């Protein structure tokens, strides 16, 4: 052990070599510039040769110093890796959701989850495809559907699929809200792949839409277009609840269309659920009720 160079000198040398500047190394290490320079000089005395050329505006490696720095940096990297192995790995939970659910509900609620469960690494698989618990390795899923989902799955109702028509206040500025049938027929419609406008208009007594149609591939995009004042979108009420409360969107008419199915939280039944997955399941149930 007596042959080893001083550790503080090695740390100062490694940092100074990355920055080629004593001041920058001092800022990184939280010491004074003079302390870094002194520690590097001590290391140079120990190895018996200069490792840096001191220049008016920084440092330059000597030939020996450059090669030595490579080996010292590798040694510190090995030490960091060895220490990282000792740190407990965050528990991982993979949840499969639709892109719209991810964008409009789950991601806005993530700060609450992270604050309450910082030890859980929640990973989100946003896909329209129905993921397989076994093949895709997911722990939880949120899906729009109707029970039963099969004996192998536990299902918990998160949200009713109550579809409302929403638009930005600016689009409705010259109209009285709720709008009448003629106004609803004339307002531009934002369509997604669910194609719910014909059913919604029939429920509102509108026989034919005269407004411009804009077609998008996802409900999340239709909501974003509504926020941008491009037209009226149909969306499940819980997905736009925050925008309605904040006044970014307004409900155009009071009618509500009952969608096919509701939003359920699914988990495997009969297998031991990890503590992290069980905690995440509980958080989703709690958050959906608020």
CA 124 to chain centre: 8
DSSP lists the bridge partners of residue 263 as: 144, 159
CA distances in angstroms from 13 to 68, 98, 157, 260, 267, listed in the order given: 10, 51, 59, 66, 53
Q: Give the pLDDT confidence of 23-70 residue by residue, as tens digits.
A: 999 999 999 999 999 999 999 999 999 999 999 889 999 999 999 999
Counts of helices then strands in the chain (DSSP H, E): 11, 13
**Residue 95 confidence (pLDDT):** 95
**Percent of the chain residues topping a pLDDT of 90:** 77
pLDDT higher than 70, residue 210: yes
For the chain, list the domains and their CATH numbers. 7-86 (1.10.10.10), 91-157+262-288 (3.40.190.10), 162-258 (3.40.190.10)
Pairing of strands 120-126, 140-145: unpaired
């Amino acid at each position: 052990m007596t042959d080893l160079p001083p550790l503080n000198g090695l740390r100062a040398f490694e940092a100074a070599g990355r920055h080629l500047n004593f001041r920058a190394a001092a800022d990184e290490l939280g010491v004074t510039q003079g302390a870094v320079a002194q520690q590097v000089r001590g290391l140079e005395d120990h190895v018996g040769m200069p490792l840096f050329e001191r220049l008016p505006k920084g440092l330059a490696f000597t030939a020996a110093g450059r090669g030595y720095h490579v080996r010292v940096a590798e040694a510190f990297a090995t030490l960091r890796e060895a220490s990282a192995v000792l740190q407990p790995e965050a528990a991982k939970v993979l949840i499969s959701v639709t892109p719209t659910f991810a964008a409009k509900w789950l991601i806005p609620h993530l700060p609450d989850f992270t604050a309450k469960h910082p030890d859980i690494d929640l990973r989100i698989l946003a896909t329209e495809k129905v993921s397989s618990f076994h093949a895709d390795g997911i722990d939880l899923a949120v899906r729009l559907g109707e029970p039963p989902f099969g004996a192998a799955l536990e299902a918990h109702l998160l949200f009713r699929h109550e579809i409302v028509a929403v638009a930005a206040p600016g689009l409705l500025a010259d109209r009285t809200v709720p709008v009448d049938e003629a106004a609803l027929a004339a307002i531009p419609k934002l369509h997604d792949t669910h194609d719910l406008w014909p059913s919604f208009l029939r429920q509102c007594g509108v026989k034919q839409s005269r407004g411009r149609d804009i077609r998008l591939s996802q409900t999340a995009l239709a909501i974003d277009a509504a926020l941008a004042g491009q037209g009226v979108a149909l969306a499940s009420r819980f997905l736009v609840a925050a925008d309605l409360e904040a006044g970014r969107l307004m409900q155009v008419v009071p009618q509500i269309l009952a969608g096919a199915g509701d939003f359920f939280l699914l988990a495997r039944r009969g297998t031991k659920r990890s503590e992290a997955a069980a905690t995440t399941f509980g958080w989703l149930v709690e958050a959906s009720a608020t």
